């Protein structure tokens, strides 16, 4: 964890971000995949469950620091022992990173 914390040292959560639409799009991808298995799909009140993680992704992207390693680090930083991904090479994480990257480039 000590090697991961510096990645996020300058990060501040911004729920009222100017990137609200992009947060919603990235959050929707995370909601669909639901890596932690915490979303009740039929519950509309959980659509924003992964918005904090989406916000971090966007911050890393615009800071030009979003890589497979930092993408994995988001999950490790936010959830530590509950991180659903063993490492940055986890196949399902690689697929998720690809989907998110495509969304950021569109």
Q: How far apart are the first and last CA of the chain?
A: 32
The whole-angstrom separation of Cα 83 and Cα 18 is 28
Residue 41 pLDDT grade (very low, low, confident, very high; cuts 50, 70, 90): confident
Domains of the chain, by residue range, sit at: 5-105
pLDDT, residue 1, reads 59
pLDDT, tens digit, for every residue of 58-86?
999 999 999 999 999 999 999 988 999 99
User: How confident is the model over 13-39, as a mean pLDDT?
Assistant: 89
Q: pTM for the whole thing?
A: 0.90
User: How confident is the model over 94-99, as a mean pLDDT?
Assistant: 97
């Amino acid at each position: 964890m000590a090697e991961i914390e510096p990645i996020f040292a300058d990060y501040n959560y911004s729920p009222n971000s100017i990137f609200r639409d992009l947060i919603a799009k990235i959050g929707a991808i995370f909601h669909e995949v639901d890596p932690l298995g915490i979303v009740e799909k039929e519950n509309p009140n959980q659509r924003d469950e992964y918005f904090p993680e989406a916000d971090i992704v966007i911050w890393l992207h615009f800071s030009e620091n979003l890589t497979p390693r930092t993408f994995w680090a988001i999950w490790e930083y936010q959830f530590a022992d509950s991180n659903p991904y063993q490492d940055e090479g986890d196949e399902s994480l690689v697929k998720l990173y690809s989907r998110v990257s495509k969304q950021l480039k569109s």
